Amino acid sequence: MAAFHPLAVIVFVSLLAAGATANYGYTTPSPPPPPPPQQQHTPPAHSNKLLVKVEGMVYCQSCAQRNTHSLEGAKPLPKAEVSVICHNAKNRVMVRCHRAVANDNGYFLAELDETKVSDFYMGDPRKACYVRLRASPDFECNNPTNINYSSIEGAPLRDEGKRWADHDYYNVMYATGPLAFRPAICPPKH
């Protein structure tokens, strides 16, 4: 049996106490760097004013998808009109509803008036506002669907993190899910 040398035991115990370990040729990967801190998007300190914008798309649903919530085969609906309706702090509809008209690609952008955060129901435009279909310029595709609740309750807003500060107010861009009209007359399904 091999004898231990007292000096070797003292060196080994000293290394362990110092936190040294044998790596046998292996290296442990370094932990990944921490993610960059999230930018805090706060309005200018002297203001609680918001300029709320709402964007979305309007389509004409294909006849093949009628009576469904599918937009497969749908086409953008240029010049379709939507309304953005918001409730105030007392949960009453704000005096002015905002109208937006879709461009040639079916995209709309509605800009609300500069408003205080506290003027919105529960202090949150996402809880206070919704989008409804208003009118279609295409007489062959002018029946509103309820895709994303756009004709009954109104399509809710979602926050996609688009915000930026301006002079005396803060810009916030919300989005809504796609909205659609459907053709008034479709060939029968077989």
140 belongs to a structural domain:
yes
121 belongs to a structural domain:
yes
48 belongs to a structural domain:
no
37 belongs to a structural domain:
no
As a whole number, mean pLDDT of residues 99-112 equals 94
Render pLDDT for 143-183 as a digit per residue (tens, 0 to 9).
999 998 877 788 999 988 887 777 677 788 999 999 999 99
139 belongs to a structural domain:
yes
7 belongs to a structural domain:
no
What whole-number distance in Å separates Cα of residue 169 and Cα of residue 158? 20
Beta strand pairing call for 155-165 and 107-116: unpaired
133 belongs to a structural domain:
yes
Domain span at residue 162 reads 57-182
What percentage of the chain carries pLDDT values higher than 70? Answer: 72
Helix (H, G, I), strand (E, B) or coil at 52: strand
Q: How many distinct structural domains can be found in the chain?
A: 1
